[in-house]
Homo-oligomer: A and B are copies of this chain.
Amino acid sequence: MVAAPVSIDTLCINSIRMLAVDAVNKSNSGHPGLPMGCAPMGYALWDKFLRHNPKNPKWFNRDRFVLSAGHGCMLLYALLHLTGYDSVTIEDIKEFRQWGARTPGHPETFETPGVEVTAGPLGAGISNAVGLAIAESHLAAKFNKPDTTIVDHFTYVIMGDGCNQEGVASEACSLAGHLKLGKLIALYDDNQITIDGRTDVSFTEDVLKRYESYGWHIQHVAEGNTDVNAIAKAIEKAKAVTDKPSIIKVTTTIGYGSPNKSDTAGVHGAPLGEEEASLTRKELDWSYGPFEVPEEAYNQYRQAIDRGAKLEKEWNQVLAEYRTKYSKESAEFERMLRGELPDGWEKDLPTYNPDDKGLATRKHSQICLGALGPNLPELIGGSADLTHSNYTDIKGESGSFQSNSRDKRYLHFGVREHAMAAILNGIAYHNSGLIPYGGTFLVFADYMRGSMRLSALSELGVIYVLTHDSIGVGEDGPTHQPIETIPSLRAMPNMLVFRPGDGNETSGAYKLAIANRNRPSSLCLSRQAMANQANSSIDKVALGGYILEDSEGAPDLILIGTGSELDLCVQAQKQLQQEGHKVRVVSMPCVELFEEQTDSYKNEVLPPTIRKRIVVEAAETFGWHKYIGLDGDSVTMHRFGASAPGGTCMEKFGFTVENVVAKSRGVLGID
Contacts and interface: CB of A to CB of B under 8 A. Distances in A.
Interface in A184-219: 194-196, 199, 201-207, 209-210, 212-215
A144 to B, nearest CB: 25
A84 interface: no
A387 B195 contact: yes
A105 B477 contact: yes
Interface string A164-189: 01111111001101100000000000
Contacts of A108: 477-479, 643
A167 B165 contact: no
A494 B638 CA distance: 9
B205 A174 contact: yes
Interface in A601-637: 608, 611, 620, 622-623, 625-626, 629-631, 637
B195 A385 contact: yes
A99 B644 contact: yes
Contacts of A100: 642, 644
A168 B165 contact: no
A201 B412 contact: yes
Contact of A474 (B29, B203, B640): B29
Interface centre among A71, A165, A492, A637 (most CB of B within 10 A): A165
A436 interface: no
B171 A106 contact: no
A480 B196 contact: no
A388 B413 CA distance: 36
A229 to B, nearest CB: 29
A383 B118 contact: no
A476 B106 contact: yes
Interface in A19-59: 27, 29-30
A387 B400 CA distance: 44
A213 B215 contact: no
Contact of A639 (B484, B493, B625, B643): B493
A121 B444 contact: yes
Contacts of A444: 121, 450
Interface stretch (A10-18, A147-155, A415-423, A530-538): A415-423
A101 interface: yes
Contacts of A209: 209, 212-213
A242 interface: no
A193 to B, nearest CB: 11
A645 B29 contact: yes
A419 B626 CA distance: 36
Nearest to A383: B196
Interface in A494-523: 494
Nearest to A441: B121
A413 B165 CA distance: 10
A383 B201 CA distance: 12
Contact of A195 (B167, B386, B490): B386
B645 A385 contact: no
Contacts of A575: none
A162 interface: yes
Contacts of A402: 201
Interface string A365-405: 00000000000000000010111110000000000101000
Given A209-B209, A488-B491, A493-B639, A166 B171 contact: yes
Given A167-B168, A415-B122, A491-B620, A174 B195 contact: no
Nearest to A103: B643
Contact of A99 (B201, B491, B642): B642
A457 interface: yes
A298 interface: no
A608 to B, nearest CB: 7
A648 interface: yes
A294 interface: no
Nearest to A265: B388
A483 interface: yes
Interface string A444-462: 1011011001101100000
Contacts of A494: 639-640
A307 interface: no
A303 interface: no
A411 to B, nearest CB: 9
A477 B31 CA distance: 13
A475 interface: yes
Given A201-B400, A204-B178, A204-B215, A415 B162 contact: yes
A166 B166 contact: no
Contacts of A97: 475, 477, 643-645
A487 interface: yes
25 contacts: A29-B474, A98-B643, A99-B649, A106-B476, A108-B643, A118-B479, A165-B174, A166-B171, A167-B168, A168-B447, A174-B205, A195-B387, A196-B387, A196-B412, A196-B414, A201-B400, A201-B412, A203-B414, A209-B209, A447-B449, A449-B449, A484-B492, A492-B620, A493-B639, A622-B623
Interface of A: 27, 29-30, 70-71, 97-101, 104-106, 108, 118-123, 161-163, 165-171, 174-175, 177-178, 194-196, 199, 201-207, 209-210, 212-215, 265, 383, 385-389, 400, 402, 412-416, 418-419, 443-444, 446-447, 449-450, 453-454, 456-457, 474-480, 483-484, 487-488, 490-494, 608, 611, 620, 622-623, 625-626, 629-631, 637-640, 642-645, 648-649, 652
5 A-B pairs with least C-beta separation: A167-B167, A104-B643, A202-B414, A120-B479, A99-B644
Given A123-B415, A623-B623, 17 more contacts: A99-B648, A99-B652, A106-B477, A108-B643, A119-B479, A165-B174, A165-B414, A166-B167, A178-B202, A178-B204, A196-B386, A490-B622, A491-B620, A493-B640, A608-B630, A625-B629, A629-B631
